Amino acid sequence: MLSALDMCGRFDYIAAMTANDSSFLPFMKMHGLGNDFVVIDERGQSPRVDQALAVAIADRHRGVGFDQLAVLSDASDADVHLTFWNSDGSLSAACGNATRCIARHLMDAQGKDSLVITTDRGILHAVDAGDGLTSVNMGQPQLAWDEIPLAEPMDTLLLPIPGEPTATGMGNPHCTFFVDDADAIDLAAMGAKFEHHPLYPQRTNVQFVSVIGPDHLRMRVWERGVGITLASGSSSCATAVAAARRGLTGRAVRIDLDGGTLQVDWRDDGVWMTGGTAHVFDGVWRM
């Protein structure tokens, strides 16, 4: 098995070999708990990724396949800037698991134990949490109706929707239902239904959550612009915030997803998310 440093070196080798041929686009395939990403490094280059290319690469039958595509670009005030595309070609300001994966890759490649990352969500801080885990501060949650955003003023703790979900913004909108048994929910039907609810003018990520204990949640997720995913970092952060606001848990929780477990801690300086990452393979997309 290749080490993280070996994988970093192999990607750099592929990038160097194809640098003078514009018909090739090097990429990495990564995942965080099965939430999978294609990562393209455009630092020091002219942008090449657009909506059409993102959709083509996203096709799991004719392309590579991903939940999100992350593009690295230069940042004057940080180590790197990240832009995220969903598999339907829409943009997202935040993607927690992709941020952790890329932070792990860059820390290994550069011999660092912390990074500053900018996204359309804002400035994020990532640190090596030890034991192969990576932590990212996803920033403070957005709790006001117009920040999430919702279509009209209302209490974001209990929405006027059957099931009284909680609305939270993490740079992208979230709708969190607390249910007796998350595994009994028809996620495909319910996720698609609420993604497009008229209260969410920009659509929403949808979570169904069961409370296992005061610091333990079970969550399943439907991602806006993607569908069912095995995990979601921003959804996990939103769920932890919603559970704490409703008094169902404390501010530090373990969240069990279909793809594995994340630790989320809502601190004074933001919502910290910690978990494992994986660099699966490197490849080249022919333009």
For the chain, give every domain's residue range: 4-138+275-286, 166-268
pLDDT number for residue 4: 46
pLDDT digits (tens, 9 = 90+) for 81-102: 999 999 999 999 999 999 999 9
Does 166-268 match 4-138+275-286 at the fold level?
Answer: yes
Task: Of 33, 27, 80, give the one whose Cα is nearest residue 58.
Answer: 27
The three state secondary structure string of 256-270 is EECCEEEEEEEECCE
CATH 3.10.310.10 fits 4-138+275-286, yes or no: yes
Split at pLDDT 50, 70, 90, the class of 22 is confident
* Alpha carbons 223 and 173: distance in angstroms, whole number: 10
* Alpha carbons 66 and 39: distance in angstroms, whole number: 10
pLDDT digits (tens, 9 = 90+) for 100-142: 999 999 999 999 999 999 999 999 999 999 999 999 999 999 9
The torsion defined by the Cα of 263, 265, 266 and 267, in degrees rounded to 10, comes to -160
CATH class of 166-268: alpha beta
Phi, psi of 188 (to 5 degrees): -60, -45
* Alpha carbons 56 and 40: distance in angstroms, whole number: 14
